[in-house]
Chains A and B, each alone.
Chain A
Amino acid sequence: MIDIHNLSYQIAGQPVLRDVSLQLAKGGVVAMIGPNGAGKSTLLSLIARLLPLQSGSIVVDDLQIGEATDIELARTLAILRQDLTVASRLTVRDLVGFGRYPYHRGRPGAEDRELIEAALKLFDLADLGDRQLDTLSGGQRQRAFVAMAYAQDTDYLLLDEPLNNLDIAASRALMEVLRDLTRQRGRTVVIVLHDINYAAAYADRIIALKAGEVVADGAPSTIVSDSLLQDVFQTRAKVKTVDGRPIVLV
């Protein structure tokens, strides 16, 4: 469980998160939505220790962020962000191989190699293993990064707007892979999304943030509504229910 307790964060005196307390249970896809500047990415970065904590606490399982060692955290929690730029000459297999680094610290064993090949196969990358990253399409590259995070074998995977720049096929494929990870392997995926329809379709739980505070929290069917869009995004969009699942008419 990720236990966030009284978390506040300021940038240059401006509050970005105000006293956020949340508990994210193990398993399932948790989507964070909200307008630009609501604090979603900051919250994710704080959990992933990319930003130093200012006040409040975050505990992942029994590891306290800020006190647990980097390697322990690397075996528990992985993060992927959209703005990843990686040395272009890295091959897909090399990249996925880095996922095992927290375990072998630079000296991969036979078991690590097996896991890397398994990850390549699982994410449909076996044929692309020796291709360099900059020769891949956006969707393939994104898949390679997720395969790396998979090889890292962490219970928690945090993703910050992974669907940016992906077309509908790549977006759906990625979301399906993430959902399968939670269903079949008991992983927990926390994901920042802009498109509420993707959140409603694939998430088990949606957390809406606005101005640094949690304003709605629950299953997609219970919280995605006209009034949520009005409150959180200040836009008048209709929400219809199709096949038992809320859809925002844009």
Chain B
Amino acid sequence: MQVRITLMVAALVLCCLAYLSLGARGDWSFVLAFRASKLAALLLVSFALSWATVIFQTITGSRILTPAIMGFDALFLLLLSLLVWSIGGQAYQALPVQGLMAANAALLCSAALILFKVVLRAGRDNMMQMILTGVVLSVLFRSLTSYVLRVIDPNEYAVVQAASFARFSNIDTSLLTLAAGLSLVAGLGVWHLRHRLDVTSLGPVLSTSLGEPPQRLQWQVLILISILVSVSTALVGPVAFFGLLVTSLTYLIIPSSRHADILPAAALIAGIILVGGQTMMERVLDLNTPLSVVVEFLGGLVFLFLLLRSLR
């Protein structure tokens, strides 16, 4: 397994070098600085989404779920459309992006906590109840969003639309410092919980028997997921299936169920897919197809595959 990790680190480094250097014309110092900040953003997104998905799958005990199913992204879009609707597109674009991101993170955290407090009362199978509530709420959020989008001015609709799709080429790098800080805090939190997550993945009965009742961990994990998801949505917009693609590959490649192995591997794989894919798209193939379309397409296929396999 050490070999696989080393290979993945090498692959990621290669991808990063290719991303920085391929097709660079003109002043190198400008190109490198410009691309390095985008690279940093891509790496942050890889890290945040892969870890959020891994720990979400652990506490839900399901390998086909991603945080998107809880309506985290839908809530983000609703907030965005409400904001544009109430203060107008121009005023929205004049808002400080850091402030928006912090507000978004805080909102997602409190939504997760409220969901947790209201739905997760003592009892059995409450995790499933919470997921279903999340699914229903995300439908509600999406309907409200589409209502707002129908009454909104067409020009402002364009502002919302631009922000509603994942974008890996056109990243707002002014958010980097805040995003890095939040990811670091959440990442340390997740790493601190890694052994407890191992026990939780044994299921509610065994983890309770071993002194680690899942209920105690769930709210902490939900908060960490909220932070990680808000980091990635702020940087590149909502992404649904990318995390699923990453975790499926990770479980395929890493023959371990310890989070101390899975978490680093997932982040590496996510980085290879995003940075490598973006390099291919932008520099090698010179395609205008956004990477998000390809990634979501592949992730969707993986989702269908996992779903069909579990039905069999």
Q: Interface residues, chain A, CB within 8 Å of chain B? A: 48-52, 69-75, 77-81, 83-87, 89-90, 94, 98-99, 101-102, 105-107, 148-149, 152
Cβ-defined contact, B195 with A86, below 8 A? no
Closest Cβ of chain B to A122, distance in Å, is 19
Measured between alpha carbons, how far is A73 from B202 in the docked complex, in Å?
18
Cβ-defined contact, A70 with B206, below 8 A? no
Q: Which residues of chain B are within 8 angstroms of A79 by Cβ–Cβ distance?
A: 205, 208-209
Cβ-defined contact, B211 with A106, below 8 A? no
Measured between alpha carbons, how far is A148 from B206 in the docked complex, in Å?
10
Q: Mark B123-151, 1 if CB is under 8 A from A, else 0.
A: 11000000000000000000000000000
Q: Which residues of chain A are within 8 angstroms of B251 by Cβ–Cβ distance?
A: 89
Interface size class of B (residues with CB under 8 A): 20 to 34
> B199 near A: Cβ within 8 Å?
yes
Of A49, A73, A98, chain B has the most CB atoms within 10 Å of the CB of A98
Measured between alpha carbons, how far is A158 from B272 in the docked complex, in Å?
47
Decide: A98 near B256, CB < 8 A? Known: A70-B212, A87-B201, A106-B196: no
Cβ-defined contact, A86 with B202, below 8 A? yes
Q: Interface residues, chain B, CB within 8 Å of chain A? A: 122-124, 194-196, 198-199, 201-206, 208-213, 216, 251, 255-258
Closest Cβ of chain A to B201, distance in Å, is 6
11 contacts between A and B (CB under 8 A): A48-B209, A52-B123, A72-B211, A79-B205, A84-B206, A86-B202, A90-B257, A94-B258, A98-B199, A106-B195, A148-B206
Q: Which 7 A-B pairs rank lowest in CB-CB distance, beginning with the nearest? A: A106-B195, A74-B211, A70-B211, A71-B211, A79-B209, A52-B122, A102-B211
Cβ-defined contact, A89 with B206, below 8 A? no
Q: Which residues of chain B are within 8 angstroms of A51 by Cβ–Cβ distance?
A: 124
Measured between alpha carbons, how far is A102 from B208 in the docked complex, in Å?
11
Measured between alpha carbons, how far is A89 from B211 in the docked complex, in Å?
22
Decide: A74 near B203, CB < 8 A? Known: A89-B255, A90-B257: no
Decide: A152 near B210, CB < 8 A? Known: A70-B216, A106-B194: yes
Q: Which residues of chain B are within 8 angstroms of A78 by Cβ–Cβ distance?
A: 209
Closest Cβ of chain B to A210, distance in Å, is 24
Cβ-defined contact, A87 with B210, below 8 A? no
